[in-house]
Amino acid sequence: MRLASLVLACLLPAAASAAEPTRIPDAAFEIAGTLRERALADDTAWTLVESLTTEIGPRLPGSEADARAVAWAQAKLRALGYDRVWTEPVRFPTWERRSERAEVLGDHAQPLLVTALGGSPGGTVDAEIVRFDSFEALQAAPAGSLDGRIAFVDHDMERTRDGSGYGKAGAVRSRGPSEAIRKGAIGYLMRSIGTSPHRVANTGITRFDEGLEPIPSAALSLVDADQLTRLLRRGPVRVRLALDCGWTGAEYTSHNVIGEITGREAPDEVVLIAGHLDSWDLGTGAIDDASGVGITMAAGHLIGQLPQRPRRTIRVVAFANEEQGLIGAREYARRHADAVSNHVLAAESDFGAGRIYGFSTGAPAHAQAASQRIAEALAPLGIEHLPGKGGPGPDISPLAAIGGTWAWLGQDGSGYFDLHHNADDTLDKIDPDALAQNVAAYAVFAWLAAEAEGDFGSAPKAAATP
């Protein structure tokens, strides 16, 4: 069956697939209802999130806390009764933040709250500010126009439920520094990609294009970006930006941590649910992504508490180093590329701890009725079937790129960017009831996908097939 669909997927567009419809036995829905109710009354996820954020705290990839987090995740999966628990190594270079400081110089001298972008080099620059409204405006600046200056991109991010504002703002962080270097800039400041009106700045990874000499690059809190803009209205502004941070030159080995509730009939076929174990260093990585780790570990655990194992395996992955470029997820996809067809459906919880409002899968036509039925089982949780919306979570995307089918359990992210990558990403921002709703959704989804007869279209992509 899976082989047939694999071949078809390679030969035919998904819409024209002649595969037999995937179906989920009625008996599975009864148990799904039980899981749903148990999950809503269960505090396993909360306990896990509290433990991870309190005992380990911030988990910068490659830091001393990274190793503690890996040990923590294994211990928790074992304690939660997972049938198999193991790790897979993930290797990457390490970046460190030591100190960061910015100040306006001259007649209006005052400090500005900044945080270095991940990947920024250290260094102190002292120069005039040139402000741009957007990444596009920076791109349009003439070559050499920023010689010896600090570029400041003041792009304002939109607050949305689905996080679409993040995508639009992304280039300011990912490509802004390189663009500024090309125009001659010696430093880079950006308005945080975030929505918090509080005095917190949002970090996040940036990359410098090959051949460019990296420059100190940092984000201002929204409050400080507005302050700088007000000062610029009064005349030229010089700023001193002093960052002590950078790639250490060392390589570090972290691990993806994996736990399985082994399938009773098709143990090699897996429904993968995941979060990522690492975090930025400014908060305690509560909504990014202790919540995802807690939600998925708790969902698998609840399924493991049922009288019998699910038909397929539930695999929970706590990915290493998502923040610096999906490093753990890419390694997972590389290592498991041969088994892509066995990854029946994969979903990551990595958009905070807000309630889930939408569900969809990237499954082809023959599995859309099954997706619809899963959505019906999620409906009592206030979740709508939204086919055509959503997509793979960040750490699912490398797997999806080689043919794994994703599921999307879309969380309300209206408040996510108040906390994302800043110091306010802490336990107290999580609503335990909303967290339990997430666990219920993941448990129901994973259970039904594991009980389904027939596939959801996972198959090596033509490009990835030898």
Q: Minimal distance in Å, beta carbon 172 to its own copies?
A: 21
Place of tokens 């960040």: 394
Q: Decide: residue 334, CB within 10 A, 0-12 exposed, 13-18 middle, 19+ buried.
A: exposed
Using the contact rule CB under 8 A, the part of the chain among 86-94, 102-110, 210-218, 344-352 near its own copies is 102-110
291 vs 179: CA distance, rounded Å: 35
Q: Does 65 bind its own copies (CB under 8 A)?
A: yes
Q: Are 402 and 333 in contact (CB under 8 A)?
A: yes
Q: Does 124 bind its own copies (CB under 8 A)?
A: no
- Residue 136 C-beta: closest distance to its own copies, Å: 26
Site for its own copies in 245-284 (CB under 8 A): 281, 283-284
C-beta closer to its own copies: residue 52 or 346: 52
Stretch touching its own copies by CB under 8 A, among 167-175, 190-198, 369-377, 447-455: 190-198
194 binds its own copies (CB under 8 A): no
Q: What is the DSSP string of 340-379?
A: GGGEEEEEE--S-SSPEEEEEE---GGGHHHHHHHHHHHG
Work out which of 14, 35, 45, 58 binds its own copies, going by CB under 8 A.
58
410, 386 Cβ separation under 8 angstroms: yes
Contact window for its own copies (CB under 8 A) among 191-199, 212-220, 313-321, 391-399: 191-199
Of 15, 249, 428, 463, which lies in the binding site for its own copies, with binding defined by CB under 8 A? Answer: 428
Phi, psi of 439 (to 5 degrees): -60, -45
Crossing angle for the helix pair 291-304 and 64-79, to the nearest 10 degrees: 20
109 binds its own copies (CB under 8 A): yes
Strand partners, 112: 102
Q: Of the listed pieces 7-15, 127-135, 196-204, 400-408, which binds its own copies according to CB under 8 A? A: 196-204
- Parallel/antiparallel/unpaired status of strands 150-153 and 123-132: parallel
Identify the residue among 81, 197, 380, 382 touching its own copies (CB under 8 A). Answer: 197
Residue 105 found at the interface with its own copies (CB under 8 A) = no
Tell me how far, at minimum, the Cβ of 428 lies from its own copies, in Å. 6
- Helix (H) and strand (E) counts in the chain: 13, 14
Our finding on whether 108 is near its own copies (CB under 8 A) is: yes
Rounded to a whole number of angstroms, the minimum distance from the CB of residue 231 to its own copies is 6
Q: Which is nearer to its own copies, 341 or 426 (CB)?
A: 426
* Site membership for its own copies, residue 67 (CB under 8 A): no
Tokens of 18: 């002649």
Find the shortest distance in angstroms from Cβ 226 to its own copies.
Answer: 7
Helix 64-79, helix 44-51: angle, nearest 10: 160
Q: Does 64 bind its own copies (CB under 8 A)?
A: yes
- Binding-residue pattern over the window 24 to 53 for its own copies, x denoting contact by CB under 8 A: --------------------------x---
* 10 DSSP β-pair partners: none
CB-based contacts of 236: which residues, under 8 Å, 6+ apart?
Answer: 128, 129
Cα dihedral 389→394→397→399 (10° resolution): -130
Stretch that binds its own copies, among 212-220, 228-236, 248-256, 347-355 (CB under 8 A): 228-236
Of residues 89, 140, 164, 198, which one binds its own copies by CB under 8 A?
Answer: 198
Hey, which residues does 123 pair with through a beta bridge?
A: 243
Determine, following the binding rule CB under 8 A, whether residue 380 of this chain makes contact with its own copies: no
* Burial of residue 461 (number of CB atoms within 10 Å: 0-12, 13-18, 19+): middle
- Is residue 107 near its own copies by the rule CB under 8 A? yes
CB 343 within 8 A of CB 270: yes
Under rule CB under 8 A, residue 213 binds its own copies: no
Q: From residue 408, give the alpha-carbon distance in Å to each of 24, 26, 40.
A: 18, 23, 20
Which of 200, 258, 318, 396 is in the footprint of its own copies by CB under 8 A? 200
CB of 303 to its own copies, least distance (A): 29
Residues 6+ apart with CB under 8 A from 179: 135, 138, 139
Size of the site for its own copies (CB under 8 A): 37
Q: Which residues bind its own copies (CB under 8 A)?
A: 50, 54-58, 64-65, 68, 104, 107-111, 113, 196-200, 223, 226-227, 230-231, 234, 281, 283-284, 422-424, 426-429
